[in-house]
């Protein structure tokens, strides 16, 4: 028996729970936004931390995506830097604040 995972994604990535509104390509979609701060090795003795924004979106909400496109989340514009389709119906998009 197959697990109805894809039909459950609309409930998992829902603005009533964990997701936020993402303005993209002339419309609004839902995504789970994360802006983790990660350590960066700058080659010295001092550790530098850098924000690493990303958003997790249903792959079906991204029929096409390209580097450099803009996503607006909570009034902040982010440029698409890369993305990974994980073959489960979910895409993680790496962003950079513009």
Could you give the residue ranges of the DSSP H alpha helices within 16-78?
none
Q: What is the CATH number of the domain that holds 22?
A: 2.40.10
Number of domains, the chain: 1
Sign of CA dihedral 11, 14, 19, 23: positive
Say what the pLDDT of residue 7 is. 63
- Print the domain residue range for 68: 5-97
Are the CB atoms for 68 and 80 separated by under 8 Å?
yes
Q: How many residues does the chain have?
A: 98
pLDDT tens across 8-50, in order?
676 677 777 789 999 999 999 999 999 989 888 888 788 888 8
């Amino acid at each position: 028996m197959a697990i109805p995972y894809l039909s459950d994604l609309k409930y998992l990535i829902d603005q009533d729970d964990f997701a936020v509104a993402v303005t993209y390509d002339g419309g609004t979609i839902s995504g789970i936004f994360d802006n983790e701060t990660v350590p960066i090795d700058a080659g010295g003795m001092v550790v530098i931390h850098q924000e690493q924004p990303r958003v997790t979106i249903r792959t079906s909400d991204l029929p096409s995506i390209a580097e450099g496109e803009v996503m607006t989340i909570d009034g902040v514009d982010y440029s698409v830097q890369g993305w990974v389709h994980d073959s489960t119906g979910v895409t993680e998009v790496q962003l950079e604040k513009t």
